[in-house]
């Protein structure tokens, strides 16, 4: 009796939900519950036609919800679904995918981008942390008979080793942008390029040049090992739910030749210099006589880190090393440093 009453009330709730707007938002700040309307045959009057158009505009979203009337989208996991088909197609076009390519996608979500990648590439590895997303993704992939081309890895992308791949194409959760890019460009995998949808401000920092106000340690470190190319801007209105910020697509090309430098020391060095990026190096190190001597001898005393190119920073580090001054990550506990400073793997 209770079971029947429960299923009846569930039915009534679902039916009520279906009759409401195509997409409704009600929820807390940290998670949002979207009820996605299934397309109905009895839509006839004007208001219903309007709703049908709404569904058509959100066609990507509707498709992914076949058999699923609702899903919570967690802000904490960066769950903003890209729904504009033109933008999705443009990302795939700009990634320059060859039919022989294996793609790594981080955060496939419900699969709007994944389905296109599967059409264009030989194989897709999709790393997704949320099992509910994977269920929807798997259903959509199977419906199109593409399941043999995909391997879904249900893991945290920051905590798992990636298989071999040629390209990365992804609309990543913005909260992990910095450590994820560090993992890609400084990690063990070699790849042709990474086409990534990023928060616009973050993309600007990646693209910044010495002297730009956005130029910081992130740009310095990435530029040491890769070239970053701007691809296009993407409006926040192209996502569900609509985030607060706009986005940009960038393409990261790992360099064929990278300077011979101890990366741990480089990160510690740039962390130190960029802790006060607009101060002169002479002012930053004024307490350390030996360092100031090297700065003076190399003509760096009045230079500001935010205006130095990577070539100049490499030259400065080499001058320090020649004078017996080394930088290292204190937390790794490597030996007794001349300059013990805090650094870490994230950029
Ligand atoms: C911005 S959404 C992108 C969804 C889809 N690619 C799209 O374009 O609509 C980010 C996705 O990454 C997943 N995600 C969040 N943190 C993750 C992590 N640490 N590792 C793997 N996936 C993660 C989220 O569950 C979500 O599906």
The CATH number for 133's domain is: 3.40.50.150
Ligand 1: centre distance to CA 48 (Å)? 33
Asked whether residue 299 is assigned to any structural domain, the reply reads yes
Protein residue with its CA nearest to atom 13 in ligand 1: 107
Q: The tokens of 135 are what?
A: 């269920």
Specify the ligand 1 atom closest to the Cα of 114: 6
Ligand 1: centre distance to CA 81 (Å)? 9
Asked whether residue 6 is assigned to any structural domain, the reply reads no
Q: Are residues 232 and 92 in the same domain?
A: yes
Specify the ligand 1 atom closest to the Cα of 176: 19
Number of structural domains found in the chain: 2
Chain segment 244-293, per-residue pLDDT in tens:
999 999 999 999 999 999 999 999 999 999 989 999 999 999 888 999 99
Protein residue with its CA nearest to atom 2 in ligand 1: 79
Last residue of a domain, one of 237, 254, 271: 254
Q: Are residues 160 and 232 in the same domain?
A: yes
Q: Are residues 130 and 195 in the same domain?
A: yes
| Residue found under tokens 């990507």 | 60
Ligand 1: centre distance to CA 77 (Å)? 7
Protein residue with its CA nearest to atom 27 in ligand 1: 109
Q: Is 156 part of any known ligand binding site?
A: yes
| pTM confidence score | 0.80
Quote the pLDDT of residue 236.
Answer: 97
Last residue of a domain, one of 254, 287, 315: 254
Measured CA to CA in angstroms, residue 177 lies from 52, 197, 295, 329 at distances of 36, 10, 34, 22
Q: Is 82 part of any known ligand binding site?
A: yes
Specify the ligand 1 atom closest to the Cα of 79: 2
Instruction: Give the neighbor-by-neighbor strand order of the sheet with 31-36.
Output: 23-27, 31-36, 70-74
Best residue for ligand 1 mutational test, from 129, 137, 195, 242 (most atoms within 8 Å of Cβ): 129
Quote the pLDDT of residue 49.
Answer: 40
Ligand 1: centre distance to CA 236 (Å)? 16
Specify the ligand 1 atom closest to the Cα of 174: 1
CATH of the domain at 269: 1.10.8.480
Asked whether residue 342 is assigned to any structural domain, the reply reads no
Asked whether residue 250 is assigned to any structural domain, the reply reads yes
Ligand 1: centre distance to CA 340 (Å)? 37
Q: Are residues 272 and 155 in the same domain?
A: no
> What would the DSSP string read from start to end of 183-229?
HHHHSS---SEEEEEEEHHHHHHHH--TTSTT--HHHHHHHHHEEEE
Mean pLDDT of each 10-residue bin along the chain, 347 residues long: 42 40 38 43 39 35 44 90 96 98 97 98 98 96 98 98 98 96 95 98 96 93 97 97 95 95 93 92 91 96 96 96 89 38 35
Pair 106, 61: CB distance under 8 Å: no
Specify the ligand 1 atom closest to the Cα of 82: 9
Quote the pLDDT of residue 334.
Answer: 43
Residues with CB under 6 A from ligand 1: 77-82, 106-109, 112-113, 127-130, 133, 156-158, 171, 173, 176
Q: Are residues 245 and 299 in the same domain?
A: no
Q: Is 107 part of any known ligand binding site?
A: yes
Q: Are residues 233 and 272 in the same domain?
A: no
Ligand 1: centre distance to CA 127 (Å)? 8
Nearest one of 102, 93, 142 to 121, comparing CA atoms: 102
Q: Are residues 310 and 231 in the same domain?
A: no
Asked whether residue 142 is assigned to any structural domain, the reply reads yes
ipTM for the predicted complex: 0.99
Specify the ligand 1 atom closest to the Cα of 88: 8
Protein residue with its CA nearest to atom 18 in ligand 1: 156
Asked whether residue 278 is assigned to any structural domain, the reply reads yes
Ligand 1: centre distance to CA 117 (Å)? 16
Q: Are residues 270 and 319 in the same domain?
A: yes
Last residue of a domain, one of 254, 281, 306: 254
Q: Are residues 268 and 226 in the same domain?
A: no
Quote the pLDDT of residue 328.
Answer: 86
Quote the pLDDT of residue 197.
Answer: 98
Quote the pLDDT of residue 338.
Answer: 28
- Strand segments (E) across the chain: 23-27, 31-36, 70-74, 81-82, 102-106, 123-127, 150-153, 167-171, 193-199, 226-234, 239-240, 247-254, 327-329, 339-341
What range defines the domain where residue 290 resides?
263-323
Asked whether residue 130 is assigned to any structural domain, the reply reads yes
Specify the ligand 1 atom closest to the Cα of 83: 9
Give the C-alpha separation, 153 to 155, whole Å: 6
Protein residue with its CA nearest to atom 17 in ligand 1: 129
Q: Are residues 86 and 230 in the same domain?
A: yes
Quote the pLDDT of residue 331.
Answer: 58
Ligand 1: centre distance to CA 172 (Å)? 6
Asked whether residue 12 is assigned to any structural domain, the reply reads no
Q: Are residues 226 and 279 in the same domain?
A: no
Q: Are residues 83 and 196 in the same domain?
A: yes
């Amino acid at each position: 009796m209770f079971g029947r009453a429960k299923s009846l009330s569930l039915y009534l709730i679902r039916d009520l939900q279906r009759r409401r707007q195509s997409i409704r938002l009600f929820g807390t700040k940290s998670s949002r519950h979207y009820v996605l309307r299934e397309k109905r045959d009895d839509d006839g009057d004007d208001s219903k036609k309007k709703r049908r158009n709404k569904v058509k505009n959100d066609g990507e979203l509707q498709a992914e919800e076949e058999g699923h009337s609702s899903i919570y989208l967690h802000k904490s996991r960066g769950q903003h679904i890209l729904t504009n088909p033109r933008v999705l197609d443009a990302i795939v076009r700009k990634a320059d995918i060859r039919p022989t390519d294996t793609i790594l996608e981080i955060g496939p979500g419900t699969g709007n981008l994944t389905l296109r990648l599967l059409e264009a590439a030989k194989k897709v590895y999709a790393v997704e942390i949320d099992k509910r997303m994977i269920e929807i993704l798997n259903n959509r992939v199977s419906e199109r008979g593409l399941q043999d081309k995909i391997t879904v890895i249900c893991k945290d992308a920051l905590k798992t080793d990636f298989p071999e791949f040629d390209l990365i194409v992804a609309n990543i959760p913005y909260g992990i942008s910095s450590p994820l890019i560090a993992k890609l460009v400084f990690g063990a995998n070699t790849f042709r390029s990474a086409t990534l949808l990023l928060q616009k401000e973050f993309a600007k920092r990646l693209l910044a040049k010495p002297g730009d106000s956005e130029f910081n340690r992130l740009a310095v470190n990435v530029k040491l090992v890769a070239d970053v190319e701007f691809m296009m801007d993407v409006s926040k209105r192209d996502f569900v739910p609509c985030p607060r910020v706009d986005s940009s697509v960038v393409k990261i090309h790992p360099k064929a030749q990278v300077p011979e430098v101890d990366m741990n020391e480089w990160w510690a060095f740039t962390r130190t210099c960029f802790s006060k990026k607009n101060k002169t190096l002479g002012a930053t190190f004024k307490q350390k006589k030996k360092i100031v001597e090297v700065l003076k001898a190399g003509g760096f005393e009045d230079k500001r880190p935010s205006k130095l190119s990577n070539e100049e920073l490499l030259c400065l580090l080499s001058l320090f090393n020649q004078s017996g001054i080394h930088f290292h990550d204190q937390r790794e506990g490597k030996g007794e440093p001349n300059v013990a400073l805090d650094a870490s793997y994230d950029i």
